Structure formats: structure tokens, C-alpha cells
Amino acid sequence: MSQDNNKSSNESKEQGNSYVPPKVWVQDKDNGGKFASINRPTAGARYEKELPVGDAPLQLYSLNTPNGVKANILLEELAEIGVKGAEYDAYKIDISKGEQFGSGFVAINPNSKIPALVDHSSDSAQTGDETSEPIAIFESGAILMYLAEKFGKFIPASAGKKRADCLSWVMWQMGSAPFLGGGFGHFYAYAPEPLEYPINRYTMEAKRQLDVLNKHLEDNTYMCGSSEEDYNIADMIIWAWYGQLVLGKLYDAAEFLQVDDYTHVKRWAQKIAERPAVKRAVDLTLKPID
């Protein structure tokens, strides 16, 4: 490119107030948006705060966001069918107040994201380890897989197609939801000002993901089949984001995304929303941490 063209390009950027990244990024101001007051480029505890521990074998520290609701659903589904040992206490971690950066929470989740769960049951100890401690699990997908496998419910136990399908869709959600939440949700609902490029970029991806689900659910009642026994953690983990989205529960974006076009996703979402355990899960009472 000639010097004249370079000059013209730079002038165009200046006239359009385009952002030019520096050679080295530094945090010299808040980035704006809903969570600006707690966002930092560093990890670790910011203050000392122990977590309460109740009497139940499982202790959940969370918030009723889509990621938090995933764990709620499985725990309530286990309660619905009377699984022993799956009793739990649930405590609120208010991420808007930075409670995820207390020392007790960081000790069980170094990534400072909800949900996190601690298994205090006697069978959580590894065989032969007399000094073993309770097991802490973080990341919603890991929590659901841990609990489903621990209790032998809502996950295919044997290697084969059904288990492969379940794990594939669980991992699909893990890879896809950041584009929906941190991408579309952030720029559409939480950014300090609306910006056309990121909103268009992530809207396109959100709609593509809904289309993936819609095509799959055209021939499936649930994510991994059409019998009631096929309902599993893949449904729970995907519903928390995409089911709530098409039911108008996220970002006030149902009309914008034209969710009524995804008829098979809506049918699936409504069916799951009617489950008693799911109804309890979305409005789960979380105990505040004093």
C-alpha cells in the first residue's frame, strides 16, 4: 500500500473515531457496562470471607443465572425422584457485588464464576486416603456430569451412542453459550452503548445456534432421543440458556431474535419448563451469605 493510501486510511479512522489498539494494553479506565465496577484483568481473592456450610451432603454456591440454573435443575430433578444423598444447601453468591471474589469462594473455584459445589458426603473421599477432604467442583458442565455420574441418573452410563450423544451436546453448549451470553447478551443488553457491528455479529451467531437446535429437535423430543428416559443433563444444560431464551426470559430479546420461528426449540423448551423440578429450579431460594 502506498504512503498516500496509508495516510488516507489513517485519516478515515480518525474521522470515524475508530478505536486503534495500543501496542500494549493497560487498564487505565473502567470499560463501562453493567459489570464495570467488578471487572479486573487479574484473578484471586480480593477480600477474606469464609463460606457457610450447612448440614446437607452437597453445598451449592450460586446465583439463578442461566449457568446457575443448570445445577439447580439437576439437583431438583434428583430430589423429585427421591435420590438419597443428593440433599443440598444452596447459598447465594451475588456476582454484582463481587461476592465471587471472597477468599472462601475462590478456594473452591479459582476462576471466580458461579456455580460451584462442594461434596461433603462420606463417599466423596478417595479409597485409602484417610486425610481426604470434601470435593469441590466448579464449572456448570463439570458439576452436572459429576452429580449425574455419582448418582447414576440423567446420563447414559455405558459407552456407546447414547452416552456419546449426551456428552457431545453438553460440550456443544459449553462452546456455544459464551457467544450467546458474553457475545450477544453483553452487547445487546449490557454494553454501555449499542454498537452495530458486535450486535450484528453475535445476533447472527445466536440465530445460527438456534437453527442448529431447531433442526435437531425436529426429529427428537429431547436432545438425545424421544423417550422420557432420554431426558438428561444435555437437555438441562442447554435449556438453561436456549430454552429460557426462546421463552422470553433472557435479555428481553425474543422479538429481536424472532424466536417464534424456531418452532421445535420452543416446543422442547415449553415441555421442559413444565417439569415440576424445573419450575422450582428457576426460582430456587438461595440463602444469603452474612
Instruction: Please give the pLDDT value at position 248.
Output: 97
Instruction: Please give the pLDDT value at position 36.
Output: 75
Question: pLDDT tens digit string along 206-231?
Answer: 999 999 999 999 999 999 999 999 99
Residues near 289 by beta carbon (within 8 Å), at least 6 away in sequence: 49, 51, 52, 91, 92, 93, 99
Statement: residue 16 has pLDDT above 80: no
pTM greater than the 0.85 cutoff: yes
Between 27 and 11, the higher pLDDT residue: 27
Between 19 and 84, the higher pLDDT residue: 84
* Separation CA 87–CA 95 (nearest Å): 25
**Distance in angstroms between the alpha carbons of the first and the last residue of the chain:** 62
**The C-alpha cell that represents 235 in the structure block:** 437437555
* Strand bridging mode 135-138 / 88-92: unpaired
Instruction: Please give the pLDDT value at position 34.
Output: 75
**The C-alpha cell that represents 279 in the structure block:** 419450575
* Domains of the chain as residue ranges with CATH: 161-281 (1.20.1050.10)
Question: pLDDT tens digit string along 177-208?
Answer: 999 999 999 999 999 999 999 999 999 999 99
Question: pLDDT tens digit string along 94-145?
Answer: 999 999 999 999 999 999 999 999 999 977 654 445 557 899 999 999 999 9
Inter-residue contact 54 to 286 (CB < 8 Å) = no
CB atoms within 10 A of CB 2: 7
Instruction: Please give the pLDDT value at position 125.
Output: 53
Average pLDDT for 22-34? 84
With 0-12 / 13-18 / 19 or more C-beta atoms within 10 angstroms meaning exposed / middle / buried, residue 276 is: exposed
CB atoms within 10 A of CB 203: 17
With 0-12 / 13-18 / 19 or more C-beta atoms within 10 angstroms meaning exposed / middle / buried, residue 83 is: middle
